[in-house]
């Protein structure tokens, strides 16, 4: 936790009056380029959070894209008009801001999903957590914060280059690589086979096929431990849920997604934003059963068929099961009542 004056090497967030945010690392003698001139880092270092800094005046030619100058060839005013004098508030970025702005190779998890993983996974200080799929380190940094120095995080990342990105982002956030983080590269099953049995309190899987990793996941998780899987598509979600049920080693999985929408508030003019963060992924949550015990299952209604594909039925089978497939959620008694009510309402039209 950093407090006090801003120091060289820190990440800082600059926010203008329009709400546009720029996150950059401040260094002695450095500068941050904006649409409205340069922010000199020496004007920021040594000050506290909450100050306002003003961009220096410069010619537009200093801002022209050096790689593609031809794009501005027909715009002579860009090199003639001076810019600068734009104000930015200076703050240390929140963890959510840092995650969204950090350099990344793989797609990161959004803060809304990360928050739900920590809450639904019940990930707290002192827990031992196993994570598969570091990506760019967004989830890893949040897990490290959640378990703290009294806990531990073991992350398994298949690609060494992604592991390097995740490690660098975490190092920049903390100022050094966290001592309570064990980052390993390799295939999940191979690496997990070398981990102690029933050692981890929580497991977080962010990968393409988590249903194929349940054997090793159950071996290393403690009885009662929570498994959370982040999955992006409905087909993946369905396969994961059915695999958890079929194994008998996990409680009935819960599935959810979180949608995020911000609002505009200006006096009495209050309305939601036209754009929102909709579907990003599903969270599948289940808990590990003890060795020798099978998970309890909800008894399914005999008439409820959720497995048979109607296209694979013969014409006779389709005709015989048509009523169950289409009307399985309504009883004959209720249907008769609905028809009576509709007949009465139609009769009222004639009257």
Specify the DSSP element, H or E, that contains 271: strand 269-272
Give pLDDT, residue 167: 94
Give pLDDT, residue 350: 73
3-state secondary structure of 59: strand
* Fold agreement (5-93, 96-288): no
- Is 182 annotated to bind a ligand? Reply is yes
- Is 305 annotated to bind a ligand? Reply is no
CB atoms within 10 A of CB 82: 11
Q: Is 304 left (phi over 0), alpha (psi -120 to 50) or beta?
A: beta
Task: For the chain, give every domain's residue range.
Answer: 5-93, 96-288, 315-348
Q: Assess contact for 157 and 205: CB atoms under 8 A.
A: no
Say which CATH class 5-93 falls into: alpha beta
CATH of domain 96-288: 3.40.50.150
CB atoms within 10 A of CB 201: 22
Give pLDDT, residue 3: 85
- Is 157 annotated to bind a ligand? Reply is yes
Kindly give, in sequence order, each residue whose CB lies less than 8 Å from that of residue 226, ignoring residues fewer than 6 positions away.
Answer: 120, 121, 122, 123, 201, 202, 203, 285, 286, 287, 288
Cα separation, 254 vs 245, in Å, equals 11
pLDDT in single tens digits along all 351 residues of the chain: 788 899 999 999 999 999 999 999 999 999 998 888 899 999 999 999 999 999 987 655 555 556 676 666 666 555 555 678 899 999 999 988 888 888 776 677 889 999 999 999 999 999 999 999 898 899 999 999 999 999 999 999 999 999 999 999 999 999 899 999 999 999 999 999 999 999 999 999 999 999 999 999 999 999 999 999 999 999 999 999 999 999 999 999 999 999 999 999 999 999 999 888 889 999 999 999 999 999 998 876 655 566 667 677 787 777 766 655 554 556 778 888 888 888 888 888 876
Model confidence, pTM: 0.75
3-state secondary structure of 212: helix
């Amino acid at each position: 936790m950093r407090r006090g004056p801003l120091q060289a090497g820190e990440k800082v967030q600059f926010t203008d009056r329009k709400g546009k945010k720029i996150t950059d690392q401040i260094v002695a003698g450095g500068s941050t380029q904006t649409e409205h001139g340069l922010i000199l880092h020496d004007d920021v270092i040594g000050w506290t959070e909450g100050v306002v800094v003003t961009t220096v005046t410069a010619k537009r030619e200093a801002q022209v894209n050096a790689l593609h100058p031809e794009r501005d060839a027909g715009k002579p005013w860009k090199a003639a008009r001076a810019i600068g004098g734009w104000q930015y508030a200076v703050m240390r970025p929140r963890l959510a801001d840092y995650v969204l702005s950090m350099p990344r190779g793989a797609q990161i998890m959004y803060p809304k999903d990360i928050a739900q993983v920590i809450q639904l996974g019940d990930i707290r200080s002192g827990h031992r957590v196993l994570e598969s799929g570091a990506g760019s380190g967004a989830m890893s940094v949040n897990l490290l914060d959640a378990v703290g120095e009294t806990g531990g995080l073991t992350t398994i990342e298949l690609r060494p280059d992604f592991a390097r990105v995740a490690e660098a982002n975490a190092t920049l956030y903390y100022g050094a690589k966290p001592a309570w983080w064990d980052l390993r590269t390799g295939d999940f099953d191979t690496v997990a086979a070398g981990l102690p049995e029933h050692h981890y309190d929580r497991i977080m899987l962010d990968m393409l096929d988590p249903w194929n990793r349940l054997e090793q996941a159950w071996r290393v998780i403690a009885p009662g431990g929570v498994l959370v899987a982040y999955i992006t598509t409905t087909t993946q979600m369905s396969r994961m849920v059915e695999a958890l049920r079929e194994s008998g080693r996990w409680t009935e999985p819960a599935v959810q997604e979180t949608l995020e929408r911000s609002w505009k508030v200006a006096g009495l003019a209050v309305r939601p934003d036209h754009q929102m963060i909709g579907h990003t992924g599903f969270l599948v949550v289940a808990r590990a059963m003890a060795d020798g015990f099978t998970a309890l299952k909800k008894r399914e209604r005999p008439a409820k068929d959720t497995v048979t594909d109607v296209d694979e039925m013969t014409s006779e089978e389709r005709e015989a099961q048509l009523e169950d497939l289409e009307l399985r959620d309504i009883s004959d008694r209720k249907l008769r009542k609905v028809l009576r009510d509709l007949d009465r309402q139609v009769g009222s039209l004639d009257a």
